[in-house]
Structure 1
Amino acid sequence: MNFLIEFTTRNYKVRNSMAIHLKKLYPGSRFGGIISAHGAIKKYLESQKEVGYEFLYDITNIQEEFLKEDVPIEEIKDFEESIPGKSLWRFVAVDREWGYQFIKGSIPVMYFSKKRVNYENIQRIVGGYSRFFKKVLSGFNADVVIFMLGAHSVQAPILEQVCKNLKITYISPAITKIQNYFSITSNKEMLFPQIKEAYLKNIQGELVTDSSPGEKSYEEMHSSLKNKNSTYYFDQGDNYVKKLKANKGFSFIYLVLKRIATTFLHWYQLRTLEKQKAGKSSRYSFKSLLYFNYYNLYKVYQGRKLLKKSFYDTYNPNEKYIYFPLHVVPEYALLVRGNMWINQLFIIENLAKSIPLDYKVYVKEHPGTIGWRVRPFSFYKEIKSYTNVKLIPPYLDNHQIIKNSQLVITVTGTPGWEALLFHNKPVINLCEDFYEITGLSKRIHNIADLSKEIQSEIKRISEISTEERKRRIVCLLNAIIINSSWADKPLRVLGEEDAPVSEQEVMDAGTLLGNEIGKYLDRLQN
């Protein structure tokens, strides 16, 4: 079996360990790698002896090569025709640089020349990636591509589509948001067809399984909700807010000086790494240093503003309201999974026009925005401009807001699952999510129907008994558990852990990941 593996700055050691284990599971396998990362990762992978990679392509600066090429317009048109949505602009919108014009409600994270982001260059980038991936995968005769979730780049959806066109298995480990379980997804949207299939067979009586693991998981997660010191899955929760509140004791001047120093140090490290790899540093110029300082100082100022109670409307738990939690922008859940709903102001406007007259829309900022991303203040001003919309603080208890709401509407993400799992609330999704299969939420396809869907969904969910809700949720939990593995440190297995990890811990994580991939591939073949 021929494995092509994507390596990044964080995951390369765990994924190399995974490759070592896959080599044992599938003797005679061949391995290749694509690297998109800072640092001497290629050197590390070439120097280790356990896996002989036939090639390791570092594509960190490959876009500069694409921009020198002619626009392959016929190839682009043929490739676009193979896409289900029939438009490559949806792929472009995923990218933080080339699709910046689609990313509303956010100030760009990195400096780039807007003159460079023009129509012809976008075509060169799209054509370059599709041509490159097709050449690499065909030449290697790849059977499996193990991709990296979380990439905000046009390369991610292009790689997936090339794999589909060449009938190559495309997979990645992903969290399930069920305690510490992780599974294997076969798409960039982090959906799990194997879990969906198991649920349908289970609920219809075609698959007889012991329901006790699902019931145990259900009870443990509900118990964790009552325990304020634990979480129902390993997510970081409101760490961003905690850090910022801890900084409130420092003066604004101190935080500004600290941010300038850390920005320069980070820029210098990245610039040095890029010069070592490419001989020059086009992305980390002095203009980019000035921009990073502007961005990070704005972040300090905005963080202080967003932690002030006076910035927000008053939260009234006794008021009838629809809850809409904001997504961080740019971020994978919105740019990739919720690709057609990136403009959250558009959603809020339509909600304001669709709720019953005696309702309000409660909008809460994502805690991760504070100290991580920056929005223009005009974004908040527009939200506040609607008389039936309230902007409430990000540090309020999310569960209490859900519990007191009449309905939760999300693009995708955790609050919809929490509303369904813990609070028996109606949920409307704008994109498909893993729990949709239970029939305890509703995905809308036409925004013009939103007003009717809100009222009908509130009524429909109220008619489902507590016992029936639990039966469906437990069935879903069982389907997840039999198609997943438990990890004591899920972020380590996914290659996303920040803390230093020992060599033994890397090997253990790689072995666990390799076993889960092996189980998934064996099921595909049977």
Structure 2
Amino acid sequence: MKICFLLQRRFAYIGHALALILKEKYGVTDFCGYVSLRSGLEFLKSQKDIQYTGLLLDENVHNQYKDEPLDLAYLKELEKNYGLPNLWRYIEMDRTIRHGQLVREYPHDASPYSHEEMMRLMQVKIKAILKFLKEEKPDVIIFSVIADLSALFLYQAAKKFGIKILLIKPSRIQSLHTLTEDYRYYSHVDKTFNELQNGEMALPEHQLLAENFLKNFRAKPSPYSYRDTPAAKPTTRKKQFAFLRPRQAIVSLKWTAQIFTDYFRNKYRQDPYTVKPWHYIIDTIKRKARVFRGFDDLYDEPNFNEYYVFFPLQAEPEMDITLPSQFYTDQNWLIQQVARALPIYFKIYVKEHPAMYGYRPRNFYKKLKKIPNVKLIRPTETGFNLIQNAKIITTLVGTSGWEGMLLKKPVITFGDVFYNKLPMAKKCDNINDLPWLIKEQLENFIYDEKSLVNYITAIYKESADVDLIKIWEMEGGSQTEKHKEQLSALANLIASKLNP
């Protein structure tokens, strides 16, 4: 058996650690990888534990587009075979190609590529991926995320070629992570859930875990990840300017000098995903200027005695918006539609994501404030207070929808998300249906405790306890040896799905 890893950014270190466990514990010897960053490729080439049969670097492929002649006949054929139903979706979800983001800070929105260059980029990347798959012939591809053109096409090509897909996803329960073969839902969880619902299976130990989790959550709601809570983020002007304190100012100056030094020492500094230090400085200054000007004059105080719908803004840029909510990515526009779909006496409470404080311009919020029944709630307000007192939770695909369901609230979503499987959530596929969906959820909502417990039971059965948010996003994968026990649990889960 050969396993291919999509090694997106610093997941290269974690993916390699998983490969090593699968080799040592389960005898898997053949591995290949599609690698995002050059630093990840250099690490994989320098290690001696695993001899990868093939490693394809996305940055190398990307750089070939300048010499690629545009072939419209080839693109038409690709669209016929891999279109969703066209090829634009691959471009639209790639934040770097479409918006110039990741190398520039949100709200930057200017692609460095023309329409023709985007098509040439698509050509070179798709050609390289198809060639890679035909040469390597993997049996399984393990995805960390699907967040750009290359990852989405690799996913679609794997489906076309009959290659098994295992996508690692947070379960939104504590630090549990599950695997799915479809990014739109949790395929393995759903299968177990269906069997539980139909009485074909009983999981008393996992059910007890589910019931205890639900009981404890309702007694004292807490986020599945502390990282994005108001307490963990600098959501005030004071916190944002803490770097100016004498000791921290020295650290900041050293850091700034270091990023310039590292950039000019990097012989591959023209790689497409390399952040130019002057762009980093410019974007940081702009963000701090927005924070200095402040947003306090725009905030409203919540009144928990009035009728309201809660709409939590999601972080941007974020693959949870671009992939599963493809036609609802403009949250400002969407809030306007929700506001006009409500009963006349309802408010809509909009709260900023704690991680986005200072990123969105004032004009974004001022536009919201023009909507008569909108209240803009400050980001320091606890989301659970707003959820518990809301009549409905409306969200693209956010965790607040799941948390609302745990607290027995009706939910309306605007994208593909795992908890759409449960009857308490209604997905809005057509914006013209939104007023009727809201009316139905307000007047005819039926809470189903059995379904919720069975779903959480299925999550416990089909998940591994591994804090990837800490290991990957906070530590950058640099301390995988320290977390070998947790990563072994994830490797065990992967192994259980290799030969079902």
TM-based fold match above 0.5: yes
Kindly state the Cα deviation for residue 200 of structure 1 after the two structures are TM-superposed: 1.6
- Which AA in structure 2 matches 1:521? L
Higher relative contact order, structure no. (Cα contacts within 8 Å, ≥ 6 residues apart): 1
Kindly state the Cα deviation for residue 292 of structure 1 after the two structures are TM-superposed: 2.3
Distance (whole Å) between structure 2 residues aligned to residue 262 and residue 506 of structure 1: 30
User: Counterpart of 1:341 in 2: which secondary structure?
Assistant: coil
User: Counterpart of 2:499 in 1: which secondary structure?
Assistant: helix
Pick the aligned partner of 1:419 from 404, 413, 418: 404
Distance (whole Å) between structure 1 residues aligned to residue 210 and residue 376 of structure 2: 34
In the TM superposition, what whole-angstrom CA distance separates every residue of 1:385-435 from its partner, at most 9, and x where no partner exists? 11111111111111111111111111102100111102x111001112212
Distance (whole Å) between structure 2 residues aligned to residue 10 and residue 392 of structure 1: 35
Contact preservation (8 Å) 2:328, 2:396: yes
In the TM superposition, what whole-angstrom CA distance separates every residue of 1:446-491 from its partner, at most 9, and x where no partner exists? 1011111101111221x44xxxx2211111011112211223x343
Name the residue aligned to 1:519: 496
Name the residue aligned to 1:213: 206
Distance (whole Å) between structure 2 residues aligned to residue 223 and residue 242 of structure 1: 25
Kindly state the Cα deviation for residue 363 of structure 1 after the two structures are TM-superposed: 1.0
Indicate how the Cα distance of structure 1 residues 501 and 221 shifts in structure 2: closer, same or farther if over 3 A, else same: farther
- Report whether the alignment pairs 1:73 with 2:72: yes
In the TM superposition, what whole-angstrom CA distance separates every residue of 1:162-192 from its partner, at most 9, and x where no partner exists? 1112111122322101223211122344x21
In the TM superposition, what whole-angstrom CA distance separates every residue of 1:16-47 from its partner, at most 9, and x where no partner exists? 121122224554642112221253x3343233
Name the residue aligned to 1:199: 193
Indicate how the Cα distance of structure 1 residues 249 and 78 shifts in structure 2: closer, same or farther if over 3 A, else same: closer
Kindly state the Cα deviation for residue 126 of structure 1 after the two structures are TM-superposed: 1.2
User: Counterpart of 1:394 in 2: which secondary structure?
Assistant: coil
- Which AA in structure 2 matches 1:511? S
Distance (whole Å) between structure 2 residues aligned to residue 248 and residue 18 of structure 1: 37
Q: How many residues align?
A: 499
Name the residue aligned to 1:187: 182
Kindly state the Cα deviation for residue 342 of structure 1 after the two structures are TM-superposed: 0.9
Indicate how the Cα distance of structure 1 residues 499 and 193 shifts in structure 2: closer, same or farther if over 3 A, else same: closer
Pick the aligned partner of 1:454 from 431, 438, 444: 438
Distance (whole Å) between structure 2 residues aligned to residue 496 and residue 130 of structure 1: 28
Q: Which stretches in structure 2 are left out of the alignment for 5+ residues?
A: none
Distance (whole Å) between structure 2 residues aligned to residue 113 and residue 413 of structure 1: 23
Q: State the TM-score, normalizing by the size of structure 1.
A: 0.85
Pick the aligned partner of 1:505 from 470, 482, 496: 482
- Which AA in structure 1 matches 2:496? K
Distance (whole Å) between structure 2 residues aligned to residue 346 and residue 435 of structure 1: 24
Name the residue aligned to 1:238: 229
Distance (whole Å) between structure 2 residues aligned to residue 84 and residue 492 of structure 1: 36
Contact preservation (8 Å) 1:3, 1:142: yes
Pick the aligned partner of 2:118 from 115, 122, 139: 122
Contact preservation (8 Å) 2:10, 2:477: no
Distance (whole Å) between structure 1 residues aligned to residue 213 and residue 290 of structure 2: 38
User: Counterpart of 1:478 in 2: which secondary structure?
Assistant: helix
Q: Which stretches in structure 1 are left out of the alignment for 5+ residues?
A: none
Contact preservation (8 Å) 1:96, 1:108: no
Name the residue aligned to 1:431: 415
Distance (whole Å) between structure 1 residues aligned to residue 312 and residue 85 of structure 2: 30
Kindly state the Cα deviation for residue 100 of structure 1 after the two structures are TM-superposed: 1.8
Kindly state the Cα deviation for residue 94 of structure 1 after the two structures are TM-superposed: 0.9
* C-alpha RMSD of matched pairs (Å): 3.2
Distance (whole Å) between structure 1 residues aligned to residue 297 and residue 259 of structure 2: 35
Contact preservation (8 Å) 1:17, 1:511: no
Identity level (%): 23
Kindly state the Cα deviation for residue 211 of structure 1 after the two structures are TM-superposed: 3.7
Contact preservation (8 Å) 1:5, 1:147: yes
- Report whether the alignment pairs 1:298 with 2:286: yes
Name the residue aligned to 1:324: 311
Contact preservation (8 Å) 2:99, 2:110: no
User: Counterpart of 2:227 in 1: which secondary structure?
Assistant: coil
TM alignment of 1:48-87, pairs within 5 A = 48-83=47-82, 85-87=84-86
- Report whether the alignment pairs 1:338 with 2:325: yes
Indicate how the Cα distance of structure 1 residues 475 and 26 shifts in structure 2: closer, same or farther if over 3 A, else same: same
Kindly state the Cα deviation for residue 227 of structure 1 after the two structures are TM-superposed: 4.2
- Which AA in structure 2 matches 1:170? I
- Which AA in structure 2 matches 1:368? A
Name the residue aligned to 2:460: 481
Pick the aligned partner of 2:391 from 406, 413, 420: 406
In the TM superposition, what whole-angstrom CA distance separates every residue of 1:327-370 from its partner, at most 9, and x where no partner exists? 11111211223222111122112112211111111111111102
